[in-house]
A and B are shown apart, each in its own frame.
Chain A
Amino acid sequence: MPSAIAPQEEHPALIRVRDLHCGYPGRPVLQSISFDVGPGELVGVLGPNGSGKTTLVLALSGVIPIERGSIDVMGAPIDSQKAKERARRMAVVSQEADVKFPFSCEEVVRMGRYPHRGRWRGNAFRDEERVNWAMDAMDARPLAERLITAVSGGERQRVMMARALAQETPILLLDESTSAMDIHRKLEVFRTLDALSREKGLTVLTVLHDLNLAALFCRRILLLRDGRVAADGPPERVFTREILEDVYRSKVLVREIEEIGRRQVVFLP
């Protein structure tokens, strides 16, 4: 197993994963994962089904316990941080998305302010400002009054993304958070994420299935296979015929699109 090359040595790592083993009772998933993520990176986590992408997100967000190894987020081990403290550092959009009660979409976005509030009061002005900003960033304003239980899957994902942005964290973890969106929405969301990571230093780690979307926006790809890191690096190093055919076990064509200077991948029938 080639150990991951720490890509941005000049920055202190925001997320630092070392020899991570974890999974579910009787079913180990991640085996010896190590990587660092620095500030302002936009990392795509890819890999076939069952390779451990979602498990990695759950482990990074402290939902499932670590069996061996360590995860440090902003210098502190993830399992020593209080839930609220963790949620001020890292916002997560998970796949589990159905909301049980008919909250309006704006109320759901507002929930993103939870970690910033004390039991009885918080900074209402700051909350309002950030909620409005997040709704605009995800173009969720037209959905504000609609019920979260009555909007489409893609619209709900937009609301959940806005909720995560309202959380005002330096790190954003996304798990297939744009999967149900139209292609133009997906592109808009990724353009926004790209701008936020470049201009505001937001660190984004996103699980994706779409290799070509990843190739357009992610500046680094973490490719998983069977709970291990199969490749880690910029798209031009990871998206090669050899690596992809090995990981996805099917024939691929990899083409450099000169007009945009990016690679695109076609799986052959």
Chain B
Amino acid sequence: MTGAGAGPTAPGRGPAGGGSLRLWLALLAAVALLTFATSGIGPFGISYESILRVWLSPFFQGAASGVGDSERYIVVHIRLARACLALMAGASLGLAGAVYQGVLLNPLADPFTLGISAGGALGASLAILFGWGGMHFAGMSGLPVAAFAGSMGALYLVYMLGRVDGKVHSTTLVLAGIMVSTFLSAWISLLKSLHEDSVSTIVFWIMGSLSGKGWLHALLIAPYLLAGSATILAYARELDCMSLGEVQAMQLGVDVPRIRLTLLVAASLITAAAVAVSGVIGFIGLVVPHIVRLCIGPGHRRLLPLSLLLGGVLLLISDTLARSILPGGQELPVGVLTAILGGPFFCHLLLRRKKNIQL
């Protein structure tokens, strides 16, 4: 991301890390531009000029004067809302993936492969089944809370199953995750089949979709994402030290048990928030940290914020494709798309055993 001339040894890393303010502003501008570009895509044709006018109307009075009400509604309450939601959900998954990989020292770990997403989906669908999905608890919905409980349950289960003789083994952990994920998905299917025969909602939870979501959902997950990612970003240095292994990290002065727990809880919280509004979207959390690591190296002070950003961008692109790729105008669940794109990547990681990513 910074200078490209650092050679093949340590690709493009400045001495102190951190990254310059200008770089971050440029990246944020790129995200805004991408959001703008995707806002023009959809079954209802809206010109980019109208979109720009609507976007500028809060700052310049009368900028949107020539734009019709329905167009204005679509731009703000459908396309922009959905883009923001995609950015936030993707950011959650990308960041959570980076944390799981860093804490568990496992390149295959992500919210999906560890079964955290499935746990969250089961929690959320139970909440809906029992009617806790509305807005109560002082203006907060019970949905993310239930999803969080489900995620933590799944995490606990996977961690217990993945441990052999008190040691967590990478491949065992992922096997346990896939097993728990399948098991919990089956329960979601069963619950939904028993409760209502709407197959589409089952597909929503298991394959993930942002269809029909708006500002309400974006507001719902924003506080969780903010709190979770602020916690995670504060522990970048500790995550670096933890790459040396548990014992060495402790000897370096990292309070490993406490920080590991904090990070896992925070990552599961943001995963659960994403799952509560989008269902299970796989592979974003797996792919994103690897791409970022290839570009700027493994230092978490840059890896974490960039995973957050790239996760959002990747899900925004995937979601735009998912809602526009079919010629008939129907939507594809975005989870289908990420799985089709991410599955081969997962196999690639599994088969490669490259020197610098050890299993």
Q: Which residues from chain A sit less than 8 Å from chain B, CB to CB?
A: 25, 58, 61-63, 82-88, 90-92, 94, 96-104, 106-108, 111-112, 114-115, 117, 119, 124, 145-147, 149-150, 167
Contacts and interface: CB of A to CB of B under 8 A. Distances in A.
A147 B10 contact: yes
Contacts of A82: 255
B7 A145 contact: yes
A67 B117 CA distance: 41
Contact of A124 (B9, B16, B256): B16
B244 interface: yes
B248 interface: yes
A1 B351 CA distance: 55
B4 interface: no
Contacts of A149: 355-356, 358
A101 B255 contact: no
A167 to B, nearest CB: 7
Given A83-B250, A87-B252, A114-B237, A108 B244 contact: yes
A31 B46 CA distance: 79
25 contacts: A61-B250, A63-B250, A83-B254, A84-B253, A84-B255, A87-B253, A90-B251, A97-B245, A99-B243, A100-B105, A100-B107, A100-B243, A102-B297, A102-B298, A103-B297, A103-B299, A104-B9, A104-B13, A107-B10, A111-B244, A112-B252, A119-B234, A147-B9, A147-B10, A150-B355
B224 to A, nearest CB: 22
B261 to A, nearest CB: 14
Contacts of B15: 106
Interface string B221-250: 000000000000010011011011101101
A104 B297 contact: yes
Contact of B247 (A86, A94, A167): A94
B297 A87 contact: no
Nearest to B356: A102
B9 A146 contact: yes
Contacts of A97: 245
Contacts of B254: 83, 114
Interface residues of B, number: 36
Contacts of B166: 25
- 10 nearest interchain CB pairs? A87-B253, A101-B298, A115-B253, A102-B356, A104-B10, A92-B251, A84-B253, A149-B356, A100-B105, A145-B9
Contacts of B234: 119
B11 to A, nearest CB: 9
B293 interface: yes
A114 B249 CA distance: 10
B105 A111 contact: no
Interface string B79-113: 00000000000000000000000100101000000
Q: Which of A102, A145, A147 has the most CB of B within 10 A?
A: A102
A119 B233 CA distance: 11
A119 B234 CA distance: 7
A107 B252 contact: no
Contacts of B355: 149-150
A145 B14 CA distance: 11
A88 B356 contact: no
A112 B357 CA distance: 23
B253 A88 contact: yes
